[in-house]
Amino acid sequence: MREALAEMTGDWRRNLTVLPGTESRSSAAVLTPDGRTDIPIFFQDIREKYDEHDPHAIIECKRVAGNDANLCRQYVVEGIDRFENGKYAGSHAVGFMTGYLLSGDAGAAVAGINRYLARTRRGREHLRPSTIVNAFWARSSRHPRPSRPTPIDLHHAFLGFHPVPC
């Protein structure tokens, strides 16, 4: 991400900061970190205008494979649920997740995640076609937040890796 940012020109390059994973606190009342965000993103103009030092966007990354029920469960429990309960992006309306495909494709991973959500009676939270990108690897979902009156919208990217000959 940093290499891609370095290639950019214009305001995005000067305004956007991508940090390595950092420890985080779900609220000001939490004295010791209770989470670790994978990719926190900051926008300089937001920090300056509002004196807001928390990440302005968070990307949580998980390994996933549609045929591995345990990885699908972890994607939900250790990813989606952390946004839902406010541990990540507690003051945000939107969050982002990346699923690294260990096997299969985006469709299989989404089907596996949706099976887990259905088994746990969370069918209304199913991952659906993306609301922001028209791509086979992109999905969106909406999740209620018990501590907030409004839900959080998550945008998911499922990325596969193919070996490159040396």
8 A C-beta contact, residue 139 and residue 110: yes
Distance from C-alpha of 122 to C-alpha of 74, rounded to nearest angstrom: 15
Within a domain: residue 69? yes
Give the tens place of pLDDT for each residue, 127-150: 999 999 899 999 999 999 987 889
The pLDDT value given to residue 8: 54
The pLDDT value given to residue 32: 56
Within a domain: residue 166? no
The pLDDT value given to residue 80: 97
**88-117 average pLDDT score:** 92
Within a domain: residue 34? yes
Within a domain: residue 165? no
Helix (H) or strand (E) holding 72: helix 69-75
Q: Supply the range of the domain harboring residue 78.
A: 2-160
117: nearest Cα among 59, 154, 75, 158: 75
Confidence of residue 92 (pLDDT cuts 50, 70, 90): confident
| Residue 149 DSSP symbol | S
The pLDDT value given to residue 53: 58
Distance from C-alpha of 20 to C-alpha of 39, rounded to nearest angstrom: 6
Distance from C-alpha of 102 to C-alpha of 109, rounded to nearest angstrom: 10
Total number of domains constituting the chain: 1
Within a domain: residue 92? yes
Within a domain: residue 110? yes
Within a domain: residue 14? yes
Confidence of residue 164 (pLDDT cuts 50, 70, 90): low
Give the tens place of pLDDT for each residue, 145-160: 987 889 999 999 999 8
Of 17-21, 99-103, 108-112, the range with the lowest mean pLDDT is: 17-21
Give the tens place of pLDDT for each residue, 40-89: 776 677 666 766 656 667 889 999 998 999 999 999 999 999 999 888 88
Within a domain: residue 7? yes
The pLDDT value given to residue 39: 74
